[in-house]
């Protein structure tokens, strides 16, 4: 007997235990309990700002540069950007002093660019990520 699919079943994380919401004013955007967006088409800059606020992070221009890079990379390659690709890209604009793993983890203190950056950019958690 096939069970009907629950409408509230998470599609982003098979281990999700609940659905949370990020309030962006005019509507609420569904995420898993870690803040990964349910429907990537629901992403907006307002979502990123609201989620950052929820995570006690004030977005600077550098955050936005990383968020845009992550989103553009995903659009082009259909996979998450690796940190080494971010470093290579930002070394050209930021220089060696800031384009490194330590700096990226400093500006994204809740999991670095691979976790917090992807959450803010509206990119889903990868299957093997924990």
| Phi–psi pair at 11, nearest 5 degrees | -105, -15
The pLDDT, as a whole number, for residue 14 is: 62
Calculate helix-pair angle for 61-77, 83-94, nearest 10 degrees. 130
Q: What is the chain's mean pLDDT, rounded?
A: 87
Distance CA 128, CA 130 (A): 7
Q: Give the angle 58-83-67 at the CA atoms, nearest 5°.
A: 35
The pLDDT, as a whole number, for residue 7 is: 46
pLDDT digits over 75-89, tens only? 999 999 999 999 999
The pLDDT, as a whole number, for residue 15 is: 66
Q: Per-residue pLDDT tens, the chain, 130 aa: give them.
A: 443 344 455 555 566 788 999 999 989 999 999 999 999 999 999 999 999 999 999 999 999 999 999 999 999 999 999 999 999 999 999 998 889 999 999 999 999 999 999 999 999 876 555 4
The pLDDT, as a whole number, for residue 9 is: 52
The domains of the chain, with CATH numbers, are 19-121 (1.10.10.370)
């Amino acid at each position: 007997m096939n069970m009907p699919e629950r409408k509230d079943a998470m599609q982003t994380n098979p281990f999700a235990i609940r659905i949370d919401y990020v309030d962006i004013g005019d509507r609420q955007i569904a995420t898993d309990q870690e803040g990964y967006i349910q429907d990537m088409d629901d992403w907006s800059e307002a979502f990123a700002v609201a989620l950052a606020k929820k995570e006690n992070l004030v977005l600077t221009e550098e955050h936005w540069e990383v968020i845009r890079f992550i989103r553009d990379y995903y659009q082009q390659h259909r996979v998450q950007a690796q940190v080494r690709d971010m470093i290579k890209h930002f070394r050209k604009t930021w220089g060696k002093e800031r384009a490194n793993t330590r700096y990226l983890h400093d500006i994204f203190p809740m999991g670095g660019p691979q976790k917090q950056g992807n959450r803010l950019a509206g990119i889903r958690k990868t299957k093997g990520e924990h």
